[in-house]
Chain A
Amino acid sequence: MSTVRISDDAVARACGADRVSDAFAKLGWTVERVSSWGMHWLEPLAEVNGVGWGPVTPDRVAEIAEGGADDLCIGPVAVHPFIASQQRLTFARAGKTRPLSLDDYANSGGWAGLDRARAIGSEQVLAEMAQSGLRGRGGAGFPAGIKWQTVAKAPGDRKYVVCNADEGDSGTFADRMVMEGDPFALIEGMAICAHAVGAGQGYVYLRSEYPDAIAKMNAAIDLAAERIAPFRMEVRVGAGAYVCGEETSLLNSLEGKRGEVRAKPPLPAIAGLFGQPTVVNNVLTLAAVPHILAEGGAAHYDALGLGRSKGTMPIQIAGNVRHGGLYETAFGVTLRELVYDIGGGTASGRPVKAVQVGGPLGAYLHPDQFDIAFGYEEYAGADALIGHGGIVVFDDSADMAAMARFAMEFCAAESCGKCTPCRIGSVRGMEIIERILAGGRKADAVEVLPQMHNVRDADRSLEDQVALLEDLCETMKFGSLCALGGFTPYPVLSALRHWPEDFGLTKQAVPA
């Protein structure tokens, strides 16, 4: 009897993998549901003896079963250029293992990191984590080893490991893929962390928009309970608030409170969940840990990457792109390579206009900037951020003024309300952009109410409005408590600088 491997990742399922699986099963085939290789444009991808067909529709299944359907055949999957050109550490198992099979996990090197961590003891684990140079993959890029050391040293009755799985950024899905495709890797990473810092309880804070990931993580935690004991883990489901991806508001949410951001200090590492020392790390950060702790991993990790951006980054290629999916590689790759060579240009076939890197709070990069190397410092130098490693491609039909307005609207909708620059500034920001689009503003009835004594009587020119928007963005950048209000200026100002014509402005109207 023949066996076909088909992913049960949410992308594959959304593209019809269940129906394709059923069609194979009807023919009497054994269907093995595995994780996704990350070649999303080919999903659902059917793999028979290592050879792949995709994207498969149920009506093509009979042909594939007979070895035909050459137009869909991509040859051996493992050597496909998209896969072969990657450096996969976090996603080493992607496409190869059944997500909830403990046997598959153990047979592919699983638990080696935890076993070694238990053998060498907490001090040594902390030292190796620091040596590896692993930086938090959630956005800010804070070194994980330092965070762990702080928690290990902090006095507290209980300690916690919290996994930030609130992957709310548009264009990012690597966390979801880890949780759906390789959940034991995350569990192992958290268990190693717990062992190193002395935590008894772990939480995975997972957004409610990811039903498949919630189900997989719950099942995987049950299956692994014995292996990670005495450490205990639980999934906690968010309730649709973007800001809960911010670590301190996530902690409030976990405690059952409004997801308002907390002022730091105290750092969560000193007083985090329920006031106790807490490690808060992103999914990708924790899932990178088993590899680092397994023999020789730390040195290997340290040798990869660019400058202080160590190791690999799972880059998520999304939006209007032909070959969208997950691409893990060492830092240093350029956007030009990602968008054109790897991503194959736009799906629409039209010219690329802009690429937003790092989620809804990330800057829009212009094709002139596509040679910047992927790295924390390199992006910061270009007034941009890599965030969680998502890139969203736009073709020339995109209206960048609309995107800038949307960034402000998103900030207004998702603001936790704690600070004025974010809560009020985002609403004002929308208004100013609308006024720019309307060509400036007359001193109108609203503006000259009799009780207002210091109102200006001249009309505001376009230039005035632009200056006002820039001023507001400065205030948001420096006056906001967290990244939502503080980073929203990135997409807004980058859109304004690079595409002034979309705002009805000339280049001169926008100072660089």
Chain B
Amino acid sequence: MNRIEDIVLRHADREGPLLPILHDVQAEIGAVDAATETRIAELLNLTRAEVHGVVSFYHDFTAKADPRPVVQVCRAEACQARGIEAMMRGAENAAGDRVRIETVYCLGLCSVGPNARIGDDLHARLDSDALAKLVEEA
């Protein structure tokens, strides 16, 4: 649990530090589970319910770690206009159980879609083959 304390300390002098703390926990530990929520609550002098309420509100935080590689696919309107929906089945087949495909609503690349993100790498102008290949190589 020392890692949690380190992370909390790192942000201690910020105003309203909970979000940056949760981002670091999610990135370094892979999830924000119940025990972590309790520990963060103690350190910040909040109730666990308050911390849990925040964790469960945001899409970026998960209660359970999932070690699989993630491919984020944009399925918002501009990417739909360029045919992303018809490409999803192929991507899901390519993913199987090995890769997690996550839906995001807009990566801000709407003029060159359909688009996907893996880690901090962005991929534009995808077609079915390119998307399936991205998933296979993730």
A residues with CB within 8 A of B: 10-11, 13-15, 40-41, 43, 167-173, 176, 201, 208-213, 234, 236-242, 253-260, 274, 316-321, 324-326, 347, 356, 360, 390, 392-395, 398, 403, 406, 410, 414, 416
Contact = CB atoms under 8 A, between A and B. Distances in A.
Contacts of B15: 201, 255, 274
A209 B81 contact: no
Given A319-B77, A319-B82, A392-B78, A239 B122 contact: no
Given A11-B124, A13-B122, A239-B61, A318 B111 contact: yes
B125 interface: yes
Contacts of B59: 239-241
Nearest to A354: B81
Interface string B28-68: 00000000000000000000001001100111110000000
B109 A319 contact: no
A256 B108 contact: no
Contact of A241 (B57, B104, B111, B115): B57
A250 to B, nearest CB: 11
Given A14-B124, A242-B105, A398-B81, A258 B54 contact: yes
Contact of A394 (B14, B81, B115, B122): B81
A59 to B, nearest CB: 16
27 contacts: A10-B108, A10-B109, A14-B112, A15-B124, A167-B108, A170-B110, A171-B77, A172-B106, A209-B106, A209-B108, A209-B117, A210-B107, A239-B58, A241-B57, A254-B16, A256-B54, A258-B53, A316-B110, A316-B111, A318-B111, A319-B77, A319-B78, A319-B110, A360-B105, A392-B78, A398-B81, A410-B105
A213 B60 CA distance: 18
B81 to A, nearest CB: 4
A398 B50 CA distance: 43
Contacts of B79: 170
A107 to B, nearest CB: 28
Contacts of B80: 403, 406
A318 B58 CA distance: 27
Contact of A240 (B60, B109, B120): B60
Given A256-B17, A392-B81, A173 B60 contact: no
Contacts of B117: 209
Contacts of B81: 318-320, 392-395, 398
Interface residues of B, number: 41
B23 A11 contact: no
A106 B120 CA distance: 30
Q: Top 7 A-B pairs ranked by shortest CB distance?
A: A324-B111, A256-B18, A170-B76, A239-B58, A240-B59, A318-B110, A319-B81
A259 B59 CA distance: 11
Contacts of B112: 11, 14-15, 40-41, 43, 324
Contacts of B106: 168-172, 209
B11 to A, nearest CB: 10
B58 A241 contact: yes
Interface in B85-138: 104-113, 115, 117, 120, 122-125
Contacts of B122: 10, 13-14, 212
A271 to B, nearest CB: 15
B80 to A, nearest CB: 7
A11 B123 CA distance: 9
Contacts of A242: 105
Contacts of A410: 105
B22 interface: yes
Contacts of A256: 16-19, 54
Contacts of A254: 16, 19
Contacts of B124: 11, 14-15
A239 B60 CA distance: 5
Given A237-B20, A392-B78, A14 B54 contact: no
A213 B80 CA distance: 24
A219 B16 CA distance: 22
A291 B77 CA distance: 33
B19 A237 contact: yes
A317 B16 contact: no
B110 A257 contact: no
Contacts of A260: 57
